[in-house]
Amino acid sequence: MSVLIGGVLLGAGVLLFVLEPVFSGKSAPMYDGDDVFDEGAARRRVALTALRDLEYDRATGKLDENDYGQLRTELSREALEHLEDEGGGGDGGRGPDRASRELEEEIAELRRAIREGMQCGACEHLNRLGAQFCGRCGEGLGREPRMPGEGLS
């Protein structure tokens, strides 16, 4: 008898728990909440991850400067293309996680680099913000070198 009651209770409990969402309309999220990636964002992120690997390979001496420069240009362009896909809006503040923020900062830096003419006119290499000469071909980056003390004028 007690077994029968146990079985019935078990069955009823299972039914209730499994069917409850259908009756109450409770819903599972159908799309990723905090961390939504669309095509552009995903591709940009992939390109940025590749950029990071590139930096690491260079720092540990696995890549030649020449290859590094060339690949960096390609990857940066790819990352930026997808950035522009989004209408320049970016996706700032989307994710609360640190990795996301760090990536956003990298994107922002790349964007400033373009705006402020850090891309080399001769070889299209994308240089770090603040660079005065191209890291790849040595070409000047179209700005007068600042002398100490005159930066703010």
Partner 1 sequence: MTILGEIALWISLPVALWGAAVSFAGGRLGRGDLVLSGERTVHVVTILLVLVSAGIIAAFLGNRYEYYYVVNYSNRELDTYFKVAGLWAGQRGSLVFWTLLLSVFSSIAVFFNRRRNREFMPYVSGTLLGILSFLLIVLLFAEVNPFERLGFTRFNGLGLNPQLQNYWMTIHPPTLYLGFTAFAVPFAFAVSALGMLKVWNMVLVVLTFLLTIFATFLTRSGLIESVHSFAENLTIAYIFLGFMGGMAIFAAILIIHRLPSLRPENQIQSFLSRESAFLFNNLLFIGVTFAVIWGTLFPLITEGFFGETRNVGPPYFNRVNIPLGLMLLALMGIGPVIAWRRASKRNLRKNFTLPVAMGVATLAVLLVAGVRHGMALATFALAAFVMTIVVTEFWKGTKARARIAGEGIVSAFRGLVKRNRRRWGGYIVHAGVALVFTGLAGAAFDARVEQEMVPGEAMTVRSALGSEYRLVYESLSHTRPRVADDVQENDWRWTALLTAYRDGERIGVLRPEKRFYPVMEQTSTEVGISSSVLEDLYVIPKDLETGTDRATFEVKVLPLVPWIWTGGMIVAIGTLVGLWPPRGVPVPSAVRERAVRRPVPAGAAG
CB 74 to partner 1: min, Å: 9
Residues that bind partner 1 (CB under 8 A): 3, 6-7, 10-11, 14, 17-22, 24-39, 42-43, 45-46, 49-50, 53-54, 56-57, 59-64, 67, 71, 95-100
CB 139 to partner 1: min, Å: 23
One-letter amino acid identity for 6? G
In contact, 151 and 143? CB cutoff 8 Å: no
CB 125 to partner 1: min, Å: 16
CB 68 to partner 1: min, Å: 9
| Closer CB to partner 1, 9 or 122, in the complex | 9
Query: 118, 121, 126, 116: which is closest to 139 by C-alpha?
Result: 121
CB atoms within 10 A of CB 108: 14
Query: 88, 76, 146, 81: which is closest to 113 by C-alpha?
Result: 76
| Closer CB to partner 1, 21 or 130, in the complex | 21
Instruction: Find the distance separating the first CA and the last CA of the chain, reported in whole Å.
Output: 92
What is the Cα–Cα distance from 66 to 135, expressed in whole angstroms?
Answer: 10
CB 137 to partner 1: min, Å: 18
| Closer CB to partner 1, 35 or 116, in the complex | 35
> 96-100 long-range contacts, Cβ below 8 Å, gap at least 24?
96/34, 97/35, 100/35
| Closer CB to partner 1, 28 or 152, in the complex | 28
| Closer CB to partner 1, 20 or 81, in the complex | 20
